[in-house]
Structure 1
Amino acid sequence: MTPPLVLAGQYGSPYTLKMRGVLRYRRIPFQWMLRNSKWDDLPAPPVPIIPVIAYRTADGGYGDVTVDSSPQIMRLEREYADRSIVPTDPALAFIDMLIEDYADEWVTKMMYHYRWAYAPDIDKAGKLLPISRDLQMGSDELRESYEFITQRQIERRGLVGSTEWNAPIIEGSYERLLDIMTARFQHGDFVLGDRPGRGDFGLYGQLTQLVGWEPTSSAVAVDRAPKVVHWMHRMDDLAWLPVDGDHGWATIDDLPTSTTDLLHEIGRTYAPFMIANADALMSGADEVVCEAGGREYRQRAFGYQGKCLRWLREAHAALGAADRERVAAVLDGTGCEPLVA
């Protein structure tokens, strides 16, 4: 029997809970481990980020130790056949990849903003995040951890775009996302049909914090989008969900209206930011400036998101000509076209 995978992370990490949801839904055996706790015996990963997925060897040791949720998902797709979260239609799979990247690289701005911009949220995160890995932490260490994590994360707000200038853009985008998802749930349970895809799990990961943790953004969700709150809890463990082979996906030629609305929102915010960020990286500019959500958006250039755009374009280029035409038909008029230009 193949030894179970090890998933190491933290409860306050949206990407950790994203991957835990994927493993549970796909019924892939795994061992949960709190990263940097007394139980953590993993070798050092390539980059010190979470979640970590470690592959065990037959003798109980560790082989590959991996990071980065999107590559982790695709490796699991190659290694496990059942209950796939990638649509069988290559064109639809590309749309799903786009939605996942929007969640990972834009919705995460909402999560970071609400956690570190509002006093009640800062206080909660500062008190609770440090003790996730160690319940025996003493009062002096807790106080030091509170000061360290809150100061560090608040100072990093500008790096991810959480500024007073950008706040109306980020918060408006969050509210529109809640409205779009609420509209989707009037007719279906997932973004691309009757089963979850990469995009669903990407959104779920960020929403575990936005609607399940942060006081300010969760209050917005309870008032504005209670269905989204319930969907987030449901996504936590979908091992029970019946899945019939490769059935259950929508067709790319007849996507739900709410899914098309989501692509318009992606084209309104994420797409102009990603293009402007890539341009800034190429020109050596320190600041990204673009129009997003109908306002001028500014933040520092971010190297990793330049890689994300390159990966998205490589995936698009790998499609056959007919599939690229079908993707173009879906993206036409959404504002997403420059992403694959």
Structure 2
Amino acid sequence: MSDRPIRLYGAKISMFTGKVRSYLIKNHIPFEEAAVSDPHFVNHIVPKIGRNIIPVIETADGTIVQDTTDIIDYFEAHVSPRVSAYPDDALTHLLALIFEVFGDLGLTRPAMHYRWSFPDQTNGFITHGFSAGLGPDASEQQRAGVDKAIKKFSGFLPMLGVTAETIPEVERSYLELLSLLDPHFVRHPYFLSPRPTMADYSMMCSLYAHLGRDPVPAGLMKNHAPNMYRWTERMNLPHDDLSDMPYYSPSETRPETLGPILSYIGQYFMPQYQANVEILNALPVPISGTRASLHPKFFVLGMASFNHGDVSITSAVTPMMFYMSQRVSDFYATLSDTEQSKARDYLSPYGLEGLLISTAKYRVTRKDHLEVWE
């Protein structure tokens, strides 16, 4: 690969850009970050990928990769990463993939709630983030485009199950998660090992750009989980930054503090996943290679209802849920009988064994930067 820096098209305010950016930083991969207003992105990248979406990377030879998992896997295959996102130990590798599903998809609801439900306290910051790259002389048309984008994204809340009835539970369960994550990060610099893995990169999606930077949730994180907030800072630095953890001794032993976090995922994410599978399985047999969606504009397969704490939540079912969860079951299928038994024994007490063997009738893949039926 050329020494010319990778170009990352994204934004500081973007949920998924944070996942890719931290991977590049931690692996000392030279890159330059460009805004979506960059003319090359508008005139060259968007027509190539067929939609205005970030993050996207472009290499020196013109290779374009979109979607965070695809981007990380591209570098895993074409660069010798300083630290692979995938641990050598089979069970730890499996855990990294489970955290990837949860990090990419399981925290979208609180992330979007805290971004869009407090306009009086957040609009200045959010508008600034969506205006990145426009500069002080932005045209009225450009500013109108920012307002349109903000209206579009804030309008997703009902589709995500954020309503007046569910908001108290969304907030309560998020604070519960912070109470579980902070004791982990006072003892460990990363989720699974002394080094960052896919678990860390994926959890950066919501926990950094939305919940760690936006005014309202950033205050909550700093006050309720300061050690976890330090993790978000650590993930944006090329070194480990353990200056406030002089007591830490690196160990390959799996952290005991993972247990409560995994129980949380089993309790709050698995009902959503299982409800999503039921919706998928009720669909007519899809045509291989066609767009995985029932909506002309959005990748949506239907709406699923499930229990979350004391409330029932109804939210959109997206094909990405299956594309990501397949990575867990596909990797599990490659393990030896002994390794599979070890994985089941470890994950069953947390209610996560349902991710190991997929019961979804149809598979989703990605082709030409889109989710399609396999």
Taking structure 2 as the reference length, the TM-score comes to 0.80
The one-character-per-residue Cα deviations of 1:12-51 (angstroms, maximum 9, x if unpaired) are 1121122111111111122222223246475323553211
Offset at 1:212? 3.4
- Quick one: which amino acid aligns to residue 250 of structure 1? E
Aligned partners of 1:204 and 1:232 also within 8 Å: yes
Alignment partner, residue 99 of structure 1: 99
Alignment partner, residue 245 of structure 1: none
Alignment partner, residue 344 of structure 2: 328
Tell me the distance in 1 between the aligned counterparts of 2:335 and 2:228. Answer: 33
Pairing 1:83-94 to 2, within 5 Å after superposition: 83-94=83-94
Q: Which moved more, 1:189-198 or 1:30-39?
A: 30-39
Name the CA shift for 1:320/1:165 in 2 (closer, same or farther; >3 Å): farther
Offset at 1:84? 1.7
Tell me the distance in 1 between the aligned counterparts of 2:18 and 2:209. Answer: 10
- Quick one: which amino acid aligns to residue 20 of structure 1? R
Alignment partner, residue 66 of structure 2: 67
Name the CA shift for 1:282/1:165 in 2 (closer, same or farther; >3 Å): farther
Indicate whether 1:262 and 2:261 are aligned.
Answer: yes
Alignment partner, residue 184 of structure 1: 184
Alignment partner, residue 118 of structure 1: 118
Aligned partners of 1:5 and 1:54 also within 8 Å: yes
Alignment partner, residue 108 of structure 1: 108
Q: Percent identity?
A: 21
Aligned partners of 1:130 and 1:145 also within 8 Å: no
Aligned partners of 2:13 and 2:210 also within 8 Å: no
The one-character-per-residue Cα deviations of 1:272-324 (angstroms, maximum 9, x if unpaired) are 11111121122148321112234322113223213322333222222222221
Offset at 1:68? 1.0
- Quick one: which amino acid aligns to residue 49 of structure 1? I
Aligned partners of 1:184 and 1:259 also within 8 Å: yes
Q: CA RMSD in A?
A: 2.5
Alignment partner, residue 304 of structure 1: 320
Indicate whether 1:158 and 2:174 are aligned.
Answer: no
Alignment partner, residue 9 of structure 2: 8
What 5-or-longer segments of structure 2 have no aligned partner?
243-249, 284-300, 358-374
Offset at 1:235? 1.3
Greater share of helix residues, 1 or 2?
Answer: 1
Aligned partners of 1:110 and 1:171 also within 8 Å: yes
Tell me the distance in 2 between the aligned counterparts of 1:291 and 1:10. Answer: 34
Aligned partners of 2:15 and 2:210 also within 8 Å: no
Aligned partners of 2:111 and 2:211 also within 8 Å: no
Offset at 1:325? 1.3
Tell me the distance in 2 between the aligned counterparts of 1:335 and 1:121. Answer: 38
Q: Secondary structure at the match of 1:165?
A: coil
Q: Which moved more, 1:184-193 or 1:164-173?
A: 164-173
- Quick one: which amino acid aligns to residue 8 of structure 2? L
The one-character-per-residue Cα deviations of 1:216-247 (angstroms, maximum 9, x if unpaired) are 211211221122222211211134669xxxxx
Indicate whether 1:51 and 2:55 are aligned.
Answer: yes
Tell me the distance in 1 between the aligned counterparts of 2:190 and 2:181. Answer: 9
Tell me the distance in 1 between the aligned counterparts of 2:29 and 2:176. Answer: 34
Q: Which moved more, 1:115-124 or 1:189-198?
A: 115-124
Tell me the distance in 1 between the aligned counterparts of 2:325 and 2:234. Answer: 30
Q: Which moved more, 1:183-192 or 1:112-121?
A: 112-121
Tell me the distance in 2 between the aligned counterparts of 1:46 and 1:266. Answer: 34
Name the CA shift for 1:143/1:8 in 2 (closer, same or farther; >3 Å): closer
Tell me the distance in 1 between the aligned counterparts of 2:159 and 2:67. Answer: 19
Tell me the distance in 1 between the aligned counterparts of 2:72 and 2:230. Answer: 24
Offset at 1:65? 0.6
What 5-or-longer segments of structure 1 have no aligned partner?
243-247
Aligned partners of 1:289 and 1:296 also within 8 Å: yes
